[in-house]
Amino acid sequence: MQQLAVSHSPTPARVESAVCRGLGRQAATHLVAISSLVARRPGEVVFCEGDDAECVYEVVSGTLRLYKLLPDGRRQITGFPSTGHLLGLAPDGEHVYSAEAVTAVTLCRYPRASFNRLIDSVPGLARRLWAVTSDELRLAQDQLLLLGRKTASEKVASFLLMLADANDDGDEIALPMRRGDIGDYLGLTIETVSRTLTEMKRDRLLALPTSDSARLLDRERLEALAGGAHGASV
């Protein structure tokens, strides 16, 4: 695997992160001291399923895709982590999924051994880490519902609302992932994803100003659709 581009000894301002927030200055300084910044271009791999999990990563900027390959070669995308998300918390010492850059990505890298020592010694870090990883568990539970019980329109509506809730731009949504990526996340074909988005645009639930962005036009109807309300489907 190619070497990650690395910037050593980042300053605290450069790695202000979800993990550091809420910690005291001294605790945050200890965390920054063991970190380095790494970069990946679109399409480049951060780590592969089965690799030794030697580091923990936090996304500073950009979007990744997490995925597992099924025995028959099919791909199941399990998430699109962005700023503030943690990667590589592998309890058995091996990565259980692969991580690949969708856009240009900057990550903060923490050597696992040093990170684990800080969890034991830095006041508040374990509690902060629990708060961050609890969000990951909630997203995983939401995806189980998407894959198991929802229709195609309900899945796409739920996905768009999830992206809108995760950013600071209100109803403006970045869609840097390909339609096929969305399908592999939702358990749909690329044709179904494209058709559903077109139908939502036609029904003025959303606008698609570019291929990699969307704007929610009627959040109330989208929320009703995502929840399976009768009469809200497209």
Higher per-residue confidence, 15 vs 99:
99
Pairs from 188-191 (Cβ < 8 Å, separation ≥ 24): 188/152, 188/155, 188/156
Helix (H, G, I), strand (E, B) or coil at 52: strand
As annotated, the residues of the chain forming the CATH 2.60.120.10 domain(s) are 5-136
Q: Give the pTM.
A: 0.82
Position 31 pLDDT exceeds 90: no
Q: How many CA atoms lie within 13 A of 80 on its CB side?
A: 21
For 93-143, how does the pLDDT look when each residue is reduced to its tens digit (9 = 90+)? 899 899 999 999 999 999 999 888 888 887 777 777 777 677 667 767 777
For 141-166, how does the pLDDT look when each residue is reduced to its tens digit (9 = 90+)? 777 776 777 899 999 999 999 899 88
For 181-209, how does the pLDDT look when each residue is reduced to its tens digit (9 = 90+)? 999 999 999 999 999 999 999 999 999 99
Q: In what order do the strands lie in the sheet with 64-69?
A: 45-47, 98-101, 64-69, 75-79
Q: What's 124's DSSP letter?
A: T
Using alpha carbons, select from 28, 54, 40 the residue that is nearest to residue 11: 28
Helix (H, G, I), strand (E, B) or coil at 218: coil
Within 8 A by CB and 6+ apart from 136, the residues are 79, 85, 86
CATH class of the domain comprising 5-136: mainly beta
Q: How large is the C-alpha radius of gyration of the chain?
A: 19
Q: Which region, left, alpha or beta, applies to residue 139 given φ > 0 means left and ψ of -120 to 50 means alpha?
A: alpha
Q: What is the DSSP string of 216-231?
A: ES-HHHHHHHHTT-TT
Helix (H, G, I), strand (E, B) or coil at 100: strand
CATH class of the domain comprising 150-226: mainly alpha
Q: 42 pLDDT band (50/70/90 cuts)?
A: very high
As annotated, the residues of the chain forming the CATH 1.10.10.10 domain(s) are 150-226
Q: How many other C-beta atoms lie within 10 A of the C-beta of residue 129?
A: 18
